[in-house]
Chain A
Amino acid sequence: MRRMLVSLIGCAAAVVCCIRLFSTAPASSAASRTLQEADRAKVLLLVSGSEPRTLDPQESQGVLEHHIIIALIEGLVGGDEKDQARCVPGMAADWAHNEDYSSWLFHIGEDRRWSNGDPVTAQDFVFAYRRMLTASFGAAYADMLFILKGAEDYYRGKIKDFGQVGVKALDDHRLQLDFVGPTPYLLSMLQHSAWFPVHPATILKFGNIDTRDSKWTRPENYVGTGPFRIKTWRPNDVIEVERNPYYWDRETVKLNGIKFFAIENEMTQNRAFMAGQLHKTDTVPSDKVAYYRRKKPDLLRIDPYEGVYFYRVNVDRPVLKDARVRLALSYAIDREAICKNILRADQKPATGYTPPGMAGYQPLDKFNFDPDRARRLLAEAGYPDGKGFPKFTILFNTSDAHRTIAEAVQQMWKEELNIDVGLENQEWKVYLDTQNNKNYDISRSAWIGDFMDPVTFLSMWTTGNGNNDTNWGNPQYDRLIDESNHTGDPQKRLQILREAEELFLNEAPVVVVYWYTHDYLIRPSVRNWYPLALDNHNYKFIDLETGAGPEEKGSGRQARH
């Protein structure tokens, strides 16, 4: 028995040795990751969500990629630190437009440099937009540039000469953009990565103008114009960026670097934040919001966010063909209850489609909970007290959050309208396919604005638009959207858009549910992180306060919600 004991101890010692062997952390050039040290080193520790698919601004599609790309590449203009609708000079030092906003002239600053030291020229932008509009390159956001004169024709091969497209380099520093109509919202749109420049020589070194997935986005090859340049990229782990010494406005840049950790799981994000591995999380697990509100309100922030959660209605389904039925469904939802009891992070009941916060655009106040009106509308449509109403199904992508909301809606429709609704969940890509093929009755959806203008929410509902997916279409609506595209007076333009939204909601091909908020945890040492409606922060303004330890209360935070 003694020998057995000895061998046991021996084995235990072997395991300890093993663990010791494993515990020599790999050599890292990075300083220690504790928050205090990161604060002192002025390295912001952020989370990117899942692993970005690409850092090519012209191939990227997602919000999470965009949040990294804006550290590395700056467009003609940069984001304002406090107001998403405004902008600050970027590669363009100044700009001017004609009276109806259909022609813009940008003056590229003489001191603008790529991160390899090359000067930034107007020709670089011409190259970038040509790449976006090269059909064989297959940029997902190519259609965002169709507002440029001749762009769509070039994309579809109707014209071969890019010189006929409304992008001209008058000389090295003057870039002229001509549009098919007035674009008073252009400066907000230019902050989208679809309009960012790429370094022509680097692109062509690793392929042709239409080569996808080329190696130029590797850290050792990456060339950008942003306040930071990429240092390391370890897939599924971290992307590290450091100060770009060639950045024109380097005096404003306060951070020495940013680390974007690829942590997808929101519980892991939460744990990493509490363990002091992060300055800020991307989100808060919904059942933890109440806890943080109660126990650590100084770490929790809830900002407005330009997004709407809604149900698409397939208007080709016989039972859903009648607009009165769709309106009845809309009026029978108690959005207040959903926001207060299920979502619980200050989301706003969506009374219209376009969320509040767009400068000069008053959101619609149409859909308030009105069960009597809902029942009346349903009776008018031929289903008094829900009698004879055929059963239909709500489709959603597999997720507990979507299921809970769908169940609440199901119950509300049963109680208020006495109609039976089934629920069906599908895996994400299957769900996208089903929705795209319009093989559903009602489908959960959401839309996040690309820039600060209602058109980013409304243009998708024109007849046959690829993102419409409801089979709904109305020539008058199409006309209004088209008219707004040709109206130079900003006020009048917004009025037309509002008229279009009213028409759209009167026919109710969607059932709106709520307007998003963005909830996250943030350390008090992070300065100048203002609530921004698109959550696109210009990192050059962000600062870290040294000395505000992780447990310390933030004294001078300038923005809290």
Chain B
Amino acid sequence: MLKVILSRFLQLVPVLWVLLTLTFFLTKVVPGGPFSAERQATPEVIAKLNEYYGLDKPVWEQYLAYLSKVIRFDFGPSYTYQSDSVTEVIARAFPISLQIGTLAFLIALLIGITAGTIAAVNKNKVWDYFPMSLAMVGICLPTFVMGPILALVFCLQLKVAPVSGWYGLDYVPLHPAVMPALTLGLFYAANIARLTRGGLLDVLNQDFIRTARAKGLPDHQIIFKHAMRGGLLPVVSFLGPAFAGLISGSFVVEKIFNVPGLGQEFIKSVFNRDYPLILGTVIFFGTLIVIFNLVSDVAQALLDPKSRRSP
């Protein structure tokens, strides 16, 4: 097991290198530069700025210079936030996305697994169709529809959560993370519910469950003790990347509720051609995804003895 984990960690290095290299050259191919603006600066000014940020050198030279800095964990200055470094931008935006993402993850798990289990147990009855149609609606409603609806209901009508902003909103009962988390959580909950139902139904038809029933075990014991373990396997493999996705922030949800998370930094860095910030966030996201894939693989191995034998 330990060997598997170690080898996966070592794989991280080439994966990130490929990611970084691809992104670096892609950003150079994209037209438009960080300093183009509607009121154009004079060519001299643009030249000075390019010189200042080392953008006047040949691309391969820029690449090598960047690589040597990254090895020392120096991601350079951000062009957008003129007195901040990329590390500072990520350090202040990530905790916010992390909070929203974690809460969204919990909401998704709770609603998704509960709904999925209820549906599986009541297969083809009202309590199957009802949660599953809700899940279908959840999957079909994108966050940019769900977000404003939730904002209208909870923020403008009930006034229990802030419409916008992150800090020091002490006049509403709910923390600003709750509404964005709910928006994101509901979307993921829908997926989890369908996966849970499918997984559980597969397991519930298997012989060992029939044996358990024949032995006269009560329903809840069959479901929670025996069926869940195998039934949740598809969910677990979905959860790793889902968690990484959730905590890395969502541009749409962060824009709707105006929270200063990492998701909007990432998208805005692309719009602004803020090359160092694009690269910094891509590397950061890459690392997150690799790590949580690994975590979900390990969890799967713990749940499913079969997968332990073939790493």
Given contacts A238-B165, A429-B273, A4 and B170 within 8 Å (CB-CB): no
Residue B93, interface by CB 8 Å = yes
Instruction: With both chains docked as a complex, state the minimum distance between the C-beta of A15 and any C-beta of chain B, in angstroms.
Output: 5
Given contacts A15-B107, A277-B163, A22 and B44 within 8 Å (CB-CB): no
- Tell which of A2, A234, A268, A467 touches B167, judged by Cβ atoms closer than 8 Å: A234
Determine the chain A residues whose CB is within 8 A of the CB of B178 once the complex forms: 19, 22-23
Residue A208, interface by CB 8 Å = no
Residue B143, interface by CB 8 Å = no
- Tell which of B41, B110, B170, B173 touches A32, judged by Cβ atoms closer than 8 Å: B170
Residue B229, interface by CB 8 Å = no
Determine the chain B residues whose CB is within 8 A of the CB of A262 once the complex forms: 258, 260
Given contacts A3-B220, A271-B163, A236 and B264 within 8 Å (CB-CB): yes
Determine the chain A residues whose CB is within 8 A of the CB of B218 once the complex forms: 3
Instruction: Give residues of chain A (113-160) contacting chain B, Cβ–Cβ below 8 Å.
Output: 135-140, 142-143, 156
- Asked if residues A212 and B165 are in contact (CB atoms below 8 Å), the reply is no
Residue A7, interface by CB 8 Å = yes
Residue B177, interface by CB 8 Å = yes
Residue B32, interface by CB 8 Å = yes
Determine the chain B residues whose CB is within 8 A of the CB of A7 once the complex forms: 220, 224
Residue A422, interface by CB 8 Å = no
Q: Give chain B's interface residue range (CB within 8 Å of chain A).
A: 35 or more
Distance in angstroms between the alpha carbons of A34 and B170 in the assembled complex: 9
- Asked if residues B31 and A430 are in contact (CB atoms below 8 Å), the reply is yes
Q: Which residue of B lies closest to A29 (CB)?
A: B168
- Asked if residues A56 and B107 are in contact (CB atoms below 8 Å), the reply is no
Given contacts A214-B83, A234-B260, A265-B256, A430 and B32 within 8 Å (CB-CB): yes
Instruction: Give residues of chain A (1-26) contacting chain B, Cβ–Cβ below 8 Å.
Output: 1-4, 7-8, 11-12, 14-15, 18-19, 22-26
Provide the A407-449 mask, 1 if CB < 8 A to any CB of B, else 0: 0000000000000000000011111111010000000001000
Provide the B36-49 mask, 1 if CB < 8 A to any CB of A, else 0: 11111111110011
- Asked if residues B177 and A22 are in contact (CB atoms below 8 Å), the reply is yes
Residue B211, interface by CB 8 Å = no
Residue A100, interface by CB 8 Å = no
Residue B56, interface by CB 8 Å = no
Determine the chain B residues whose CB is within 8 A of the CB of A436 once the complex forms: 36, 40
Determine the chain A residues whose CB is within 8 A of the CB of B174 once the complex forms: 19, 22-23
Determine the chain A residues whose CB is within 8 A of the CB of B245 once the complex forms: none
Instruction: With both chains docked as a complex, state the minimum distance between the C-beta of A141 and any C-beta of chain B, in angstroms.
Output: 8
Given contacts A261-B165, A272-B164, A467-B40, A237 and B83 within 8 Å (CB-CB): no
Determine the chain A residues whose CB is within 8 A of the CB of B220 once the complex forms: 1-4, 7
- Asked if residues A275 and B167 are in contact (CB atoms below 8 Å), the reply is no
- Asked if residues B165 and A277 are in contact (CB atoms below 8 Å), the reply is yes
Closest 4 CB pairs of A and B: A28-B168, A429-B32, A236-B260, A138-B48
Add 8 more A-B contacts to A19-B175, A26-B168 (CB < 8 A): A4-B219, A213-B77, A216-B83, A264-B258, A267-B256, A268-B257, A275-B156, A430-B32
**Chain A interface (Cβ within 8 Å of chain B)?**
1-4, 7-8, 11-12, 14-15, 18-19, 22-30, 32-34, 51, 53-54, 56, 59, 61, 135-140, 142-143, 156, 212-218, 234-238, 261-265, 267-269, 271-272, 274-275, 277, 427-434, 436, 446, 466-467
